Amino acid sequence: MAVRSAGDALDEALAAEGLRREDLGWRPRGWWSRYPADIPHKLRHFDDLLAEPLATATFARTAAAALREHLAAEALAKRPEKSDGALYKAVHALGVERRFGGFRSYSANLAAKKTPLADALLAVHEAAGRPTRFLTFGNDQPYPQYRKEIEAASAPIPADVREVLGKLVLDLLDAWKWTERAFRSVPTEVRLRLARRLDLGVELTDALDYCPDLDDVARTWDEASLWYGGLKCVAALDEARQALAGLREPPTFAFDWQTPLGWVRLRGGGRDTVDATGSLLVVDLGGDDTYAGGAASAAGVGLSALLDLGGNDTYGSPAGTPAQGAGLCGVGVLLDAAGEDRYQAVECAQGFGQAGFGALLDLAGKDDYRCRFSAQGCGILGIGVLLEGAGSDTYEIHSDGQGFGGAGGVGTLGDRAGNDTYVAVRDPAITGRPSYHSDLKVAVSNAQGVGLGRRGDGADGHSWAGGLGSLLDSEGDDIYTAGNWAMGTGYWFGTGLLHDGAGNDTYRGMWWSQASVAHFAIGCLVDESGDDKHLVDAGGNNSLSFAHDFGVTLLLDVAGDDVYETPNAGLAWSINRSYALLLDLGGKDSYRAKEGTKPGTAVFDPKYVTRGAFTFFADASSAAVFLDAGGEDVYSKGGGENGTRWGDPPNHPSRAARNFSIGADVEEGTVRLEPIPERRPSGPR
């Protein structure tokens, strides 16, 4: 008889094995011998999601809702009233709040008024402790005469524009003060050494080269002040964008002034070429421009910002030069308001934060992003955000990006609209990062929503918890392609999320892709609608909700006629005490796997019932849960069967070991995905 759900289909599938939602997940115990403990830099959500795996769906959806709401065209067009604009709120929700809970996005509290540009630039000199008037022998010297020089050089800039730019300079000066305050207790040499480490992505995973400066900064910085500086920088650029938006035909001009905190380079409406290296601020009012060097990059000192109001622009950066919204022990923000732009860099770029705050905010246009390593929304003990408003965009990376959270970091790539293409190059001959999981024939991607830590238990003992890596795409027919470790994947106390809101999407991975984890990690992929293809290409394995060694995975596809295809293990597969969940809640679906592969398999291991030198395998529980609700579905031979339930036989040793294999295909049914309400004591008070 075909199975129909009278109530909640997931609750009924669990109840068939004597389980409730509350039975999924666990909290590690301090007395579990050999369970990794004392792992620094762990983010606050991690333990709670281990204890409540289904809540990962809500965790992903809240981020997706923030992207959808704050980057909508009408939100971006609304003038802020109290430094509380849409971009400020978006960066807070998708970056700062996920790392640090001290802010609630009321306002960036920008206090500056419209100010003559000369006054603002002189204020920068004074804030840096440098004089603006020079007297000797009781007389003003004939040079330098800063005010006269600034006023003469800036005369071609319209007066009203000069006042807006003056306010922007003062607001950025406010942000710089908070940024520097954040490192007041960090020795300068330590800060600079960490800022110059451009290869920490290589250092992670299996602990290749311990960097003590990261631990030292984490012990002594004031991160609240750092994030405040970053939020102020975003809000300041956004307010200037809106204040300058009415310029129809901006004049052509070029203004350059070197302050003690970096160059201020201002351009009008022509085709400009700007070397942005060492800049405090670059502003361009329009035209097809070319930016070279470290645009919007703060590497070890202060703050750097860039605002481009329009035009088809090209941004380029050579090796060894962080750029395009990079904060390494500092704050770097790039805001491009319109145009079809090209971003090219080598490493640490396009929304990268390393013990710092980096953001690339591109609001419109068909854009192209290319970088090799650590880019496109990448955070390592920092916050890196790349946000795209509209347009069909292309993203290409070699490794560590497109939503990558390294040790203690938050990396987010959010794309609001368009048919987008995300590529993590698979060929290790190109990337130089071969993966031992696939005989060195496929590259390590660490991309498209990956959280990855430093696993030091087999090396020097300095383990760092992975951060949060998120790729969020609101709508459009999108294509995701990567090698190993991609698309909502976690490793070593890291969390990887991929949320796709709408469209007919294609996911193509290899090993460890599409809601898969290894070693104490969380992976989640949520696709809300559309006819999707979840594919693991030939030679791939351990994907499509595959959880290994105390991991939690959730692959949730809410609607559409979908295809799932893997040549090996997957489709809600749990090994070594993990929780793997795959829920498809509608449509006519096809599940293609190796013959005899049962979706929803929790592999048994004798150590689950044997107590020896370490006990946490015997003390914990685990489950693989596969549920398809609705539609006429097709399975490979020996897999599931439409309209039935399946699991381990009554005498299987998994049952005594609290290791549950759960499979169900129901013709009709709904699933509630809200988190379990807070438990409250019953009885009289």
pLDDT at 5: 61
pLDDT tens for residues 537-547? Answer: 999 999 999 99
378 confidence band (pLDDT: 50, 70, 90)? very high
What mean pLDDT is predicted for residues 121-129? 97
pLDDT tens for residues 629-663? Answer: 999 999 999 898 999 999 999 999 999 999 999 99
pLDDT at 16: 94
pLDDT tens for residues 2-37? Answer: 666 668 999 999 999 999 999 999 999 999 988 998
pLDDT tens for residues 595-615? Answer: 989 999 999 999 999 888 888
- Considering the chain, what percentage of its residues have pLDDT values greater than 90? 89
pLDDT at 2: 64
Structure token pair of residue 526? 């949520």
Q: With contact defined as beta carbons under 8 Å apart, do 354 and 382 qualify?
A: yes
What mean pLDDT is predicted for residues 483-490? 98
What mean pLDDT is predicted for residues 370-375? 98
pLDDT at 613: 82
pLDDT tens for residues 26-74? Answer: 999 999 988 998 899 999 999 999 999 999 999 999 999 999 999 999 9
CB atoms under 10 Å from CB of 184, counted, come to 10
Q: Check whether 240 has a pLDDT greater than 50.
A: yes
- Half-sphere CA count of 453, side-chain side, radius 13 A: 30
pLDDT at 612: 81
Q: With contact defined as beta carbons under 8 Å apart, do 260 and 303 qualify?
A: no
Q: How far apart are CA 626 and CA 128, in angstroms?
A: 61
pLDDT at 4: 65
Q: What does the buried/exposed string (b/e) look like for 452-477 if buried means 16 or more CB atoms within 10 Å of the residue's CB? A: bbbbbbeeeebbbbbbbbbbbbbbbb
What mean pLDDT is predicted for residues 152-175? 97
pLDDT tens for residues 175-229? Answer: 999 999 999 999 999 999 999 999 999 988 889 999 999 999 999 999 999 999 9
pLDDT at 542: 95
Burial environment of residue 183 by CB neighbours within 10 A (0 to 12, 13 to 18, 19 or more): buried
User: What integer best gives the mean pLDDT of the chain?
Assistant: 95
What mean pLDDT is predicted for residues 96-106? 96
Q: Check whether 680 has a pLDDT greater than 80.
A: no
What mean pLDDT is predicted for residues 486-496? 98
pLDDT at 683: 40
pLDDT at 682: 46
What mean pLDDT is predicted for residues 517-521? 97
668 confidence band (pLDDT: 50, 70, 90)? confident
Specify the pairing of strand 314-316 against strand 342-344: parallel
Q: How far apart are CA 628 and CA 178, in angstroms?
A: 51
